[in-house]
Chains A and B, each alone.
Chain A
Amino acid sequence: MNPITIYAAKKIITMNPNQTTASHVAVQEGRILGVGSLEDLAGWGDYKLDQTFAEKILLPGFVEGHAHTMEGTLWRYVYCGYFDRMDPNGEVWEGANSLDAMLTRLKQAETKMTNPETPLSGWALDPIYMGNTRVSRQDLDKVSKTRPIGVLHASGHILNVNSKALELGGLLKNGINHPNIPLGEDGYPTGELFGPEGMAPVGHHVGFDRALSDSDEQGLRDFAKLCVRTGVTTITDLASRLEDDCVEAMLKVTSENNYPARIVPLQVFLGATAKDTVEKVKRLKKLATDRLRLGRIKAIADGSIQGFSARLRWPGYYNGAPNGLWYTAPEQLAELYRLALADGVQVHTHTNGDEATEMVLDVLGPALKEVASPDHRFTLQHCQLADTGQFRRMKKLGMCVNLFANHHFFWGDEHYRLTVGPERAMRMNACRTALDLGVPMAIHSDAPVTPLGPLFTAWCAINRKTVSGRTQGEHEKISVDEALYAITLGAAYTLHMDTEIGSIEVGKKADFAVLEQDPTKASGDEFNAIKVWGTVSGGRVFPVADL
């Protein structure tokens, strides 16, 4: 008989309505043997009583349903964001709140570099918070004129580079005529490069090429450290190319004894036919392990709202910008859905604008008539602008939704002022509506677009505050309990994993978030301050202090 460990805790919040709280949890073989009082659990036989969590609050390990392992890799670059942010080693990088602060930080990093040809890369720049200052190549030239420098914006849609980088990319010249490459008064590019087309010639000279989105071994380990620091035990890598070497690295790293997270990578539907994509994912599914849940697909319908590439229904963008871009045609999506439904492969679909959401609903309906699929749980990711009628249709079609609560905080003011205007900005990321209409819901960070941290994400959904401090969309707020459900069972449900994770009850994985304070006792606006002690993943204990 394998040994039983019974953990005593100050409080265990189970997410199991039959027993909402408890004092002890028994763990055997990495799974939950029982939850209750010590007396209840003693009946299982000999045990070791562990007091590590005697003063801690245990919750089900948090489930992040939309993130990217790239967050782990990006921390090797210089953090240039406006907000304080914690890196995998627990160091909190103070926000660079002005252009000068950012340049100083880059300069500090530059002086430590030895090889003069190595590019200097920064990330998470967001000039919105710096009075919309436009960063120019001349600004970055102050850091270095000889070393290529590139700083990626938080949105991922804009790259700022210096003159050397432009030169290496062949763009330091007059006469460029390209909509994504603005020119200065001197006729040369300003150093701002928009979208994949603008970035492509220069990106690989400054450390931002497409391979960045494929996690490497160190990136995966760093990513997992962030998971422990934020109480996350299961997390998606939502859109990977999953090429052979990447899958191999993921299998290797996640199987290491001390790897603390369960990764759920989704194969992006791009550059291959629906048939080939579904076949590939079926093959990958066979390689899946407990800690690497291969076998799902992510499709992308449109772009982003703040990048004006999301597809909006009438009346379109508030500032009059033309409608955005389709990434996948309805016919292609229809074929993917049919084939995936027939083979029992789950598809998550990125939609931002409400027209993209409408298109997915229009396409999935007929596919479900052709391939009856109870419990498909196809999920809309972001789905930021959906209206009430669209949530009703999601419910009817059996869809789930994963709303971008963090986005509301970071870009809500911009949506109000510029992209969609006040009325639609207030309804964005409509958590209340989703729950009221019975659409299974999760909330997410989209790390590295915003920082990983389900407690912060919960705070965003509870308070609906924007950076400027306004409450935007009072009606769409949700309660503390609903938010805690969304970051545990809610997200687990969207991954078909709610029977094994997401609550603390007998039979499930021994995955816990170990907290210093009780979130149910905290008022909604105190969520940010709750400290994470660490996690338990499959019965293995990972204190933040030991990382």
Chain B
Amino acid sequence: MSDLDYLPVTVIGGYLGAGKTTLVNYLLRNANGLRLAVLVNEFGELAIDKDLIETEEDGLISISGGCVCCSFGGDLIAALENLSQMQPRPDHILIESSGVAKPSAIFDSITLLKGFAADGVVVLVDTETIRENANDKYMGDTILAQITQADILLLNKCDLVDPQYISENANWLTRQNPKARLVKTKHSVAAPEVVLESFLGRKKTTEPHQLADQMASVNLIPTTSLDATNLARTLAEGEFGLVRAKGFVTDISGDKMLIQIVGRRWAVTTADPKFKDGVVCLGLKDQMKPIDLKSLA
């Protein structure tokens, strides 16, 4: 599906220490041929793992596998424009927002840009410190805002606390943001297709990632035309254990439609008729309801 003409952009948010940089490095390691471009708010010495870096010049880090990384320092729009003009063009842009940023502000800005598509907001939460941080005198409201702006919440560092506490935190997060889908992670290891839409429906990475067991996917292949908007809304809002979905259907109007779902956010747009019908649905294995899902198509 890489010949869609827009360039998808995903915003990765979360407070300092939540694991954003670790997640970015994990995705770069597992890009598996997808050319990722990473925009970071600041270049620290630890931004990108040393062994991933091939060259570094003029503020642009080239990473093995055709990925790149640069800092946007305050001029996000210019940095995005620059990336979109690179040859070959990146397949997907990730923005690692600063620890104090409100990710929805970045997401909203992307929606204004021609040639880009705002994929979604993925926010990491440090299970160990989140409750304390959410009560912080200064940063508490900023951290809560980050949580409420997420489409997908990654409850990270689950290896550091006991299961009881994880589940308490999961419940608490769901109360803070009932519209987000929650995925538990350790060491920021989230299946790439959870974080980036572009991985959905691609062949599995060669390196079997540790969380493959956690996720399941279902392919919906409609045999007839259907109400695309209705399907998208049902997938996004229903309780099927979905985290993301993407694919094409033939609408009752006869038009080919692209359906995109991230968390509970959904979008339906007209697409080229050349695409084959089929929607890949990604969800958590223990919550996924394949039979209910299949009944929708």
Interface residues of A (CB under 8 A from B): 169-171, 176-181, 196-197, 200-201, 204, 209-210, 241, 270-273, 275-276, 311, 323, 325-332, 355, 358-359, 362
Contacts and interface: CB of A to CB of B under 8 A. Distances in A.
Contact of A200 (B41, B44, B77): B77
A273 B45 contact: yes
Contacts, number: 87
Contacts of A179: 105, 108
Contacts of A170: 112-114
B108 A329 contact: no
A277 to B, nearest CB: 9
A101 to B, nearest CB: 32
6 closest pairs, A vs B, by CB? A271-B73, A273-B44, A200-B77, A326-B100, A170-B114, A197-B109
Contacts of B71: 271-272
Nearest to A200: B77
Contacts of B16: 329, 331-332
Contacts of B45: 273, 275-276
B6 interface: no
Contact of B112 (A181, A323, A332, A362): A181
Contact of A271 (B41, B141, B142): B41
A358 B139 CA distance: 13
A326 B41 contact: no
- Dominant secondary structure at the A interface: loop
A180 B138 contact: no
Given A271-B72, A275-B45, A330 B108 contact: no
Given A197-B108, A276-B43, A271 B74 contact: yes
B76 A178 contact: no
B53 to A, nearest CB: 16
A178 B138 contact: no
Contact of A329 (B76, B109, B111, B139): B139
A359 B138 contact: yes
Contacts of A201: 77, 109, 112-113
Contacts of A326: 100, 138-139, 142
A531 to B, nearest CB: 40
A323 B141 contact: yes
Interface in B94-118: 98-100, 102, 105-106, 108-109, 111-114
B5 interface: no
B97 to A, nearest CB: 12
A352 to B, nearest CB: 15
B291 interface: no
A527 B74 CA distance: 40
Contact of B44 (A180, A276, A327, A330): A276
Contacts of B113: 170, 201
Given A178-B111, A210-B74, A271-B74, 13 more contacts: A171-B112, A176-B112, A178-B109, A179-B108, A200-B75, A201-B77, A201-B113, A271-B42, A272-B73, A276-B44, A329-B16, A331-B99, A358-B138
